[in-house]
């Protein structure tokens, strides 16, 4: 082993940090711990029987394609099916506007790779998805956090931030937004707010990165059009994934956007993994073709709505009155806010002793704030365990109050 490893490391790698969520999941491997920490789908949503049949079909009829190298842009059949799906949602796109990635986390990394130079400014939500923050931080981005209100990213504060940068002759590389059932807050951005932010993005010539992994998991309320569909001028780059609506183990995501941007992403991807596995892509394509995906999404929505409702009822019953939480219309998460003097990092140690886990809020704040917040996942554990976990968590909080 070299004596001075630090001197060999790149500037980017020296600044890398381990994912807090990935590390927390190691702590919660103990089956006696009720984990609200990960963004894990429920295992009983996985379509095992249908997949067994499709995998056998692919291996018997298409092994020569599925087991070979594939195009970096992705399986043409899968891309075609996704384009058709999005065109029904109001996207004015063709095959050249969509590429496949190895899940949306790779897409976030590739976005950082092609856009961010060290100390470049980008705009993110306060709070925002940890995986996005980590990907952008690894390329040395300087993140400007914009707080959320009940309609999403605060328009006035975003406007002031863009005006301030413009007055200095600067502009951010992009605005990163999770508009539907935002991770971690669970908030959905209103249509008016989406239109207002699009107007700002055009005025200041800023790209919007729309991260949309949960959009199809709506349990109630009125569906709002995506930023991409509301715009359709390619001011927006939209990221999607099958991880929450199908199976995360397949590691398939996609990027929709301007062809020139996608060409750059393809070049960056070629240096990373050459291509997303053709085997999993073809299986998913056949799964969609048979009409299974939409049926499974309906099943997932029913299941997750019941779990959310049970958890919210448990919060009402067991949490002290000083605790506030969001009531998402879909997705996998809700967000708790405790009194200002409490630190959820300190509470976490006690919570683990009581066999319950969550993600501390500071993980989602680019400015280190959010010490009195936590993210709770309601999709993974059973309804019974959700109630028991809330009881345990409430007991921990009461001790500190």
Q: For residue 257, what are its two tokens?
A: 């956007």
pLDDT band at 316 (very low <50, low <70, confident <90, very high): very high
**pLDDT at residue 28 tops 60:** no
Going by pLDDT thresholds of 50, 70 and 90, the confidence category of residue 16 is low
Residue 379 is encoded by which pair of tokens? 């999709």
pLDDT for res 192: 98
Helix (H), strand (E), coil (C) string for the chain: CCCCHHHHCCHHHHCCCCCHHHHHHHHCCCCCCEECCCCCCCHHHCCHHHHHHHHHHHHHHCHHHHCCCCCCCCCHHHHHHHHHHHHCCCCCCCHHHEEEECHHHHHHHHHHHHHCCCCCEEEEEECCCHHHHHHHHCCCCEEEEEEEECCEECHHHHHHHHHHHHHCCCCCCEEEECCCCCCCCCCCCCHHHHHHHHHHHHHCCCEEEEECCCCCCECCCCCCCCHHHHHCCCCEEEEEECCCCCCHHHCCEEEECCHHHHHHHHHHHHCCCCCCCHHHHHHHHHHHHCCHHHHHHHHHHHHHHHHHHHHHHHHHHHCCCCCEECCCCECCEEEEECCCCCCHHHHHHHHHHCCEECEEHHHHCCCCCCCCEEEEECCCCCHHHHHHHHHHHHHHHHHHC
Q: pLDDT tens digit string along 175-201?
A: 999 999 999 999 999 999 999 999 999
Sign of the four-CA dihedral 131, 345, 389, 394: negative
Separation of alpha carbons 294 and 246, rounded Å: 10
pLDDT digits (tens, 9 = 90+) for 144-172: 999 999 999 999 999 999 999 999 999 99
Beta partners for residue 99, in sequence order: 255
SS3 of 102-115: the string is: CHHHHHHHHHHHHH
Phi, psi for residue 8 in degrees, rounded to 5: -90, -20
| 382 pLDDT more than 90 | yes
State the Cα torsion 47-50-51-57 to the nearest 10°: -170
* pLDDT higher than threshold 90 for residue 12: no
Domains and CATH numbers, the chain: 5-46+294-400 (3.90.1150.10), 48-292 (3.40.640.10)
List phi, psi (to 5°) of 9.
-70, 145
The string of pLDDT tens digits covering residues 99-114 is: 999 999 999 999 999 9
Going by their DSSP bridges, the two strands 121-126 and 142-149 should be labelled as: parallel
Sign, Cα dihedral of 167, 170, 174, 178:
negative
Q: Report the pLDDT value the prediction gives residue 6, as an integer from 0 to 100.
A: 74
Rounded CA separation 83/37 (Å): 33
Mean pLDDT of the residues in the chain: 95
Angle between helices 48-61 and 278-289 (to 10 degrees): 120
Q: How far apart are CA 153 and CA 190, in angstroms?
A: 10
Q: Identify the pLDDT of residue 322.
A: 96
Residue 341 pLDDT: 95
Residue 31 has pLDDT above 90, yes or no: no
Any residues with CB less than 8 A from the CB of 158 and at least 6 apart, and which? Answer: 123, 146, 175, 197, 200
pLDDT at site 1? 72
């Amino acid at each position: 082993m070299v004596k001075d490893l630090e001197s060999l490391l790149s500037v980017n790698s020296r600044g890398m940090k381990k994912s807090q969520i990935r590390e927390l999941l190691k702590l919660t491997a103990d089956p006696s711990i009720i984990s609200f920490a990960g963004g894990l789908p429920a295992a009983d949503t996985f379509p095992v029987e249908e997949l067994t049949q499709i995998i056998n079909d692919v291996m018997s009829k298409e092994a020569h394609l599925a087991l070979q190298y594939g195009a970096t842009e992705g399986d043409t059949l899968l891309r075609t099916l996704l384009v058709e799906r999005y065109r029904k949602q109001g996207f004015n796109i063709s095959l050249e506007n969509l590429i496949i990635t190895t899940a949306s986390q790779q897409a976030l990394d590739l976005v950082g790779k092609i856009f961010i130079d060290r100390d470049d400014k980008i705009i993110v939500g306060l709070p925002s998805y940890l995986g996005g923050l980590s990907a952008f931080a690894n390329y040395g981005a300087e993140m400007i956090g914009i707080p959320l209100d009940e309609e999403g990213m605060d328009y006035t504060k975003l406007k002031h931030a863009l005006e301030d940068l413009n007055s200095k002759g600067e502009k951010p590389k992009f605005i990163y937004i999770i508009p539907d059932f935002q991770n971690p807050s669970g908030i959905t951005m209103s249509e008016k707010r989406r239109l207002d932010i699009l107007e700002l993005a055009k005025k200041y010539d800023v790209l919007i990165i729309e991260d949309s992994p949960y959009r199809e998991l709506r349990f109630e309320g009125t569906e709002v059009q995506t930023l991409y569909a509301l715009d359709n001028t390619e001011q927006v780059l939209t990221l999607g994934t099958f991880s929450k609506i199908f199976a995360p183990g397949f590691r398939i995501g996609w990027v929709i956007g301007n062809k020139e941007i996608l060409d750059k992403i393809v070049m960056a991807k070629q240096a990373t993994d050459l291509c997303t596995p053709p085997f999993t892509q073809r299986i998913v394509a056949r799964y969609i073709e048979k009409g299974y995906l939409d049926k499974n999404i309906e099943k997932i929505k029913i299941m997750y709505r019941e779990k959310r409702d049970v958890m919210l009822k448990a919060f009402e019953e067991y949490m002290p009155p000083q605790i506030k939480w969001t009531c998402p219309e879909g997705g996998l998460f809700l967000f708790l806010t405790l009194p200002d003097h409490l630190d959820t990092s300190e509470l976490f140690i006690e919570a683990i002793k009581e066999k319950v886990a969550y993600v501390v809020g500071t993980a989602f704040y680019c400015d280190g704030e959010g010490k009195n917040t936590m993210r709770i996942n309601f999709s993974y554990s059973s309804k019974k365990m959700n109630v028991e976990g809330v009881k345990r968590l409430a007991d921990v909080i009461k001790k500190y109050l």
